[in-house]
C-alpha cells in the first residue's frame, strides 16, 4: 500500500485565528507555509515550520517566490483588511491552488470571496452561533454546519430518552433526524442498532435540517 502523501498548506496572516490554524496543522505533521508581515509572529511560528516568511507585499509575484502555488490548500486569514483579503484571494486562485479558503468578517465580504471561487469561513460568526446555541439549549454541545441548512450536531442525551431504545424514540419519523454516532466514555459507536438503549452520559451525534434539530432540542427540554 502506498503511503499517503502529506498535503501542503499555506496560511496567509498570523493573527490569533491564522496562528492557531498553522500550529494545529504543523503539529499534525502537515507541511505548512506561513506568511505574515510581522517579523515577531514569523519568529514565533518558526518553531513549528521552517517555511515561514515575512512578506510586506502580498502580490502574486511575491507569493509565487515563496511557493504558495505549490500548496494543496491555502487559507487566507486577513479578513479585517477587506481589500487585501480580496486581492490576495484572487491572486492565489489565479495561481491554480486547488482549494482556497478565505476568512471573512461580513456577509458582503464573504459574497465577494465566494464569487471569486473561494470557500468562506466566518470565525467570529461561528463562535457567536456556538455560544448562542449553548445558551439556548441545555443539551447542546457542538455542531458542524453543512450546505442547505443541514447540520451535524452533538447533543447530550435528553432525560426523556434515557431507558428507551432507538426504535422506541422514532427520531427519524418524528423529527426527520438520523443518529450517525453515539459517544460514551470517550468511545464512539457508529454501528447504531434499533435495539440500542440510551443511557445517562450518552452523547448523540445527529444529522438533519437545522429547524428539525432545534425542534428536537426544544421538545426534549
Overall average pLDDT of the 187-203 stretch: 91
pLDDT at 170 over 80: yes
Give the pLDDT score at 2: 41
Q: Indicate whether 104 and 56 sit together in one domain.
A: yes
With cut-offs at 50, 70 and 90, classify the pLDDT of residue 7.
confident
Q: Which CATH number goes with the domain that contains 70?
A: 3.40.50.720
Kindly state whether residue 143 falls inside one of the protein's structural domains.
yes
Give the pLDDT score at 17: 86
Tens of pLDDT, residues 75-94 = 999 867 889 999 999 999 99
Q: Indicate whether 86 and 145 sit together in one domain.
A: no
Kindly state whether residue 70 falls inside one of the protein's structural domains.
yes
Asked whether the beta carbons of 208 and 176 are under 8 A apart, the reply is yes
Kindly state whether residue 168 falls inside one of the protein's structural domains.
yes
Q: Which CATH number goes with the domain that contains 204?
A: 3.30.70.1450
Q: Which of 53, 27, 25, 22 is nearest to 39 (CA)?
A: 53
With cut-offs at 50, 70 and 90, classify the pLDDT of residue 47.
very high
Distance CA 142, CA 125 (A): 14
Tens of pLDDT, residues 117-133 = 998 888 766 655 555 65
Overall average pLDDT of the 108-123 stretch: 89
Q: Which of 75, 19, 64, 61 is nearest to 42 (CA)?
A: 19
Q: What is the pTM of this model?
A: 0.62
pLDDT at 4 over 50: no
- Lateral strand order in the sheet of 52-54: 52-54, 31-36, 8-12, 73-76, 99-103, 119-121
Q: Which residue has the cell 517566490?
A: 65
With cut-offs at 50, 70 and 90, classify the pLDDT of residue 1.
very low
Q: Indicate whether 13 and 115 sit together in one domain.
A: yes
Q: Which residue has the higher pLDDT, 152 or 141?
A: 152
Q: Indicate whether 132 and 110 sit together in one domain.
A: no
Overall average pLDDT of the 178-205 stretch: 90
Q: Which domain holds residue 26?
A: 8-121
Structural domain count of the chain: 2
Kindly state whether residue 86 falls inside one of the protein's structural domains.
yes
Quick count: other Cβ atoms within 10 Å of Cβ 165? Answer: 13
Amino acid at each position: 500500500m502506498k503511503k499517503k502523501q502529506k498535503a501542503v498548506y499555506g496560511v496567509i496572516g498570523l493573527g490569533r485565528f491564522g496562528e492557531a490554524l498553522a500550529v494545529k496543522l504543523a503539529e499534525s505533521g502537515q507541511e505548512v507555509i506561513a506568511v505574515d508581515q510581522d517579523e515577531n509572529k514569523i519568529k514565533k511560528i518558526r518553531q513549528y515550520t521552517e517555511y515561514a516568511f515575512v512578506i510586506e507585499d502580498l502580490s502574486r509575484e511575491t507569493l509565487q517566490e515563496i511557493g504558495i502555488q505549490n500548496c494543496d490548500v491555502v487559507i487566507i486569514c486577513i479578513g479585517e483588511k477587506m481589500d487585501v483579503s480580496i486581492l490576495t484571494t484572487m491572486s492565489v486562485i489565479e495561481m491554480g491552488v486547488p482549494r482556497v479558503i478565505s476568512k471573512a468578517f461580513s456577509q458582503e465580504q464573504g459574497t465577494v470571496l465566494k464569487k471569486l471561487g473561494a470557500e468562506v469561513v466566518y470565525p467570529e460568526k461561528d463562535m457567536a452561533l456556538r455560544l448562542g446555541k449553548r445558551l439556548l439549549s441545555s443539551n447542546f454541545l457542538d455542531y458542524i454546519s453543512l450546505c442547505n441548512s443541514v447540520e451535524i450536531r452533538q447533543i447530550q442525551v435528553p432525560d426523556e430518552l434515557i431507558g428507551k431504545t432507538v426504535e422506541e424514540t422514532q427520531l427519524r419519523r418524528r423529527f426527520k433526524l438520523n443518529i450517525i454516532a453515539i459517544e460514551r466514555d470517550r468511545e464512539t459507536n457508529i454501528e447504531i442498532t434499533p435495539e440500542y438503549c440510551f443511557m445517562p452520559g450518552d452523547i448523540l451525534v445527529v444529522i438533519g435540517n437545522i429547524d428539525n434539530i432545534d425542534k428536537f432540542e426544544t421538545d426534549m427540554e
